[in-house]
Chains A and B, each alone.
Chain A
Amino acid sequence: MSSLFFHCLTFTALLLALFLILDNRHDSALEENDLTTQEISTDSFYDLQEKINSMLPILIGSILIGIVFAVLLQEWLARESWTYRIFDFIMVILAGIPSVFYGLICIYYFIFKSGRVSYLTHSLTVVLLTMPITIQSTQYAVKSVDVSIREAVYALGVKKSRAITQHVIPHAFSGIMSGVYTAVSRSFFVAGLILVTFAWIQTAHSRDPFNIPKNAYVFLIAALLCSLGASFLNRKTVPNVLSSFVL
Chain B
Amino acid sequence: MRNKLEISKLKVTYGDTQAINGISFDVLENEILGIIGPAQSGKTTLLKVINRTLEFTQGTSVEGSVKLDGVDISSISDVHGLRRRIGMVLPLPVGLPLSIYDNVAFAPRTAGLRKKAELDEIVERCLQQAALWDEVKDRLDSLGTKLSGGQQQRLTIARALSHQPEVLCLDEFSIAVDPVTTMRIEEVLKTLKNEMTILLVTNLVQQAKRLANRTAFMLNGDLIEIDNTDVIFSENPTEQATYDYVNGNFG
Contacts and interface: CB of A to CB of B under 8 A. Distances in A.
Same assembly:
yes
Interface in A112-152: 146-152
A154 B56 contact: yes
B83 A157 contact: yes
Given A152-B96, A167-B96, A157 B56 contact: no
A118 B58 CA distance: 46
Given A80-B58, A151-B90, A157 B81 contact: yes
Interface in B127-161: 156, 159-160
Given A150-B56, A151-B53, A157 B84 contact: yes
Contacts of A80: 58-59
Interface in B81-125: 81-84, 87-88, 90, 92, 94, 96-97, 106-107, 110-111
Contact of A155 (B53, B58, B59, B81): B53
A152 B156 contact: yes
B151 to A, nearest CB: 16
Contacts of A155: 51, 53, 83, 87-88, 90, 160
B96 A148 contact: no
A117 B98 CA distance: 50
Contacts of B190: none
Interface in B35-92: 51, 53, 56, 58-59, 80-84, 87-88, 90, 92
A157 to B, nearest CB: 4
A162 interface: yes
Interface in A157-177: 157-159, 162, 167, 170-171
A166 to B, nearest CB: 9
A156 B107 contact: yes
B163 interface: yes
Tell me if A's interface is mostly helix, strand, loop or mixed.
helix
A111 interface: no
| Interface size range of chain A in the complex | 20 to 34
A236 interface: no
Nearest to A159: B80
Contact of B111 (A79, A148, A157): A157
A153 interface: yes
Interface in A50-86: 78-80
A11 B201 CA distance: 59
| Interface size range of chain B in the complex | 20 to 34
Contact of A151 (B56, B87, B163): B56
Contacts of B107: 156-158
Contacts of A159: 80, 110
Contacts of B83: 154-157
A162 B110 contact: yes
A48 B163 CA distance: 59
A79 B96 CA distance: 26
B110 A156 contact: yes
Contacts of A156: 83-84, 106-107, 110, 159-160, 163
A153 B107 CA distance: 9
B80 A152 contact: no
Nearest to B78: A157
A158 B84 CA distance: 8
B92 A148 contact: yes
Contact of B97 (A78, A79, A162, A170): A170
A74 to B, nearest CB: 12
Nearest to B82: A157
B174 to A, nearest CB: 17
Contact of A154 (B53, B58, B92, B163): B53
A146 B90 CA distance: 13
A85 to B, nearest CB: 13
A90 B58 CA distance: 22
Contacts of B160: 155-156
Most chain B CB neighbours (cut-off 10 Å) among A147, A150, A157: A157
Contact of B90 (A79, A152, A162): A152
Contacts of B87: 155
Nearest to B162: A156
Given A155-B83, A157-B163, 15 more contacts: A80-B58, A146-B94, A147-B56, A149-B96, A151-B90, A151-B94, A154-B53, A155-B51, A156-B83, A156-B106, A156-B160, A157-B83, A157-B84, A157-B107, A157-B111
Interface of B: 51, 53, 56, 58-59, 80-84, 87-88, 90, 92, 94, 96-97, 106-107, 110-111, 156, 159-160, 163
Interface of A: 78-80, 146-159, 162, 167, 170-171
